[in-house]
Amino acid sequence: MENLRARCNASFRETARSDTHLAPPLLARPDPVTGRIRKQTYGAWMGKLFRVLARLKRVRGTWLDPFGYTRERAMERRLITDYEATVGGLLATLNSANYDVTAEIAALPAQMRGYGPVKAANVARAKEREAGLLADFQSKTAHAVRATPLKVSDSGATLASSHDLSE
């Protein structure tokens, strides 16, 4: 942070004002028209607060984490549990016919980006896509009478050989 400040001071006059625009989940209020949380402007003093928050990094995920109780964090924890259950169930019937669909389902969390309403919209789109892909997976699994099973390991999935199947 200090390095950034020094570079900015070298490029601009030192009296330039530095503002930070944030929508902190515990302080921000929603816009009465759109319902989205409004960003607020904070002065240079936020740099000191950011340094304090950086030192408190070790409390993240513990009962001391004040942001851990927000609806968004609860949703994130639920998404992790759902993902583990979904992928675990898919791996039990993974074969060459449904491999591509399984890989696409496994990649869906990469689309769940952002914060607040942006993240909520991205999660809704990804969950809608997941429902369609799961239906496709079921269809491919049901129609794959003689599909080649896949051997799953920590290094990835590979086609199982007849030797692997006899073990």
Q: Convert the pLDDT of each residue in 71-116 to its tens digit.
A: 888 999 999 999 999 999 999 989 888 999 999 999 999 999 988 8
Q: Indicate whether 166 belongs to any domain.
A: no
Q: Is 62 part of any domain?
A: no
Contact call for residues 95 and 150 (beta carbons, < 8 A): yes
Verify that 24 and 81 share a domain, yes or no.
no
- In which residue ranges of the chain is pLDDT below 50? 161-163, 165-167
pLDDT value of position 151 = 61
* 72 and 134 belong to one structural domain: yes
Q: Does 16 share its domain with 81?
A: no
- Residue 167 domain-assigned? no
The answer to whether position 127 is within a domain reads yes
Is 58 among the domain residues? no
Same domain, 113 and 88: yes
Q: What percent of the chain has pLDDT over 70?
A: 81
Q: Which domain holds residue 106?
A: 68-161
Overall number of domains in the chain: 2
- 98 shares a domain with 37: no
